[in-house]
Amino acid sequence: MPTAKKKKALTAKNPPVAAEQKSDSLWSMRGMEDVNLQRAAQLNLWTVLGGLQVAALFTQVGSVWEQLQAGRWYVFVYALNSLLIIALVWSASFWDSVVLKWTVTVPTILTQLFGNFFLGITCLLIVDPAGWFLALAISATCNGFHNILLSRSGAWEIVSPKMLETRRANLWVENLWPLLAYAGAVHMYLVPSVLVQSIWGVIALAIIIEGLFRQHHDMKRDRKELGIP
């Protein structure tokens, strides 16, 4: 057993961490290596999932072509919507990992994993607009929970008041997306007409384009404010 003298020497060599320093040691004091490792791990996961979603879209090319030849032109809109959603989700996830204090946690990983999983199912249901909207609604719901968890995990604590206000406003807007998607799925299930499917496809396209423009604007603002090249 170590003597009292040895215990005293070990304590002097490795002093206990003060309570107010423990939270900083998890991110700042550990160094950039840990930060970059967590960013890289999440980025690799999103990139793999995004690749699978694009691959799912490729499997539907033949079906989309057949539907176009049959006069169902709006199916192409759903294919375009799927591709743009993949770009929007990937860019938003990647950028958040750059500007936020985004640590790897099981809840945030699970919610985003399920969100991306159902987005992959969305890509397989292009020729079934009602099913496409339902899968998209579930994916958007998962992403909504993910963003709420992220906002409460301390990831936003390093942003400026202006950025914080913008992110809170975006969170309210993004939480409306699943409600619209569920409404579209129910409407098309009850009224499966070409006109209804076309209208909802165009509505989805407009919302996705608005989201891409908003994401682009936020990224430009963050670059300027944080000095990111």
Structural domain boundaries in the chain: 33-226
- Model pLDDT, residue 17: 43
Give 59 or 228, the one with higher predicted confidence: 59
Measuring CA to CA, how many Å separate 176 from each of 139, 169, 181? 13, 11, 9
User: Count of CB atoms within 10 A of residue 144's CB?
Assistant: 19
2-11, 33-42, 113-122, 214-223: least confidently modelled range = 2-11
Residue type, 66: E
- Asked if residue 9 has pLDDT above 50, the reply is no
Residues 44-60: what's their mean pLDDT?
A: 89
Give the helix, strand, coil percentages of the chain, each rounded to 5: 80, 0, 20
Considering Cα of 160, then 164, then 167, then 173, what sign does the dihedral take? negative
In degrees, to the nearest 5, what angle opens at C-alpha 141 toward C-alphas 136 and 144? 125
Which residues, at least 6 apart from 117, have a Cβ–Cβ distance to it below 8 Å? 49, 139
Q: Are 225 and 167 spatial neighbours (Cβ–Cβ below 8 Å)?
A: no
pTM: 0.79
Lowest mean pLDDT among 51-60, 106-115, 159-168, 172-181: 159-168
Q: Which of 221, 91, 206 is nearest to 163 (CA)?
A: 221
Q: Does 71 score more than 70 pLDDT?
A: yes
pLDDT(189) > 80: yes
Task: Output the six-digit token pair for 206.
Answer: 């407009």
Kindly indicate the confidence band of residue 21, based on its pLDDT and cuts at 50, 70 and 90. Answer: very low
Amino acid at 226: L
What is residue 218's predicted lDDT score, i.e. its pLDDT? 86
Paired tokens of 189: 């299930």
What are the distances in angstroms from CA 114 to CA 25, 27, 108, 127, 136?
A: 31, 27, 10, 22, 11
Contact 111, 149 (CB under 8 A): yes
CA distance 83 to 79: 6
Express as a percent the part of the chain with pLDDT over 90. 41
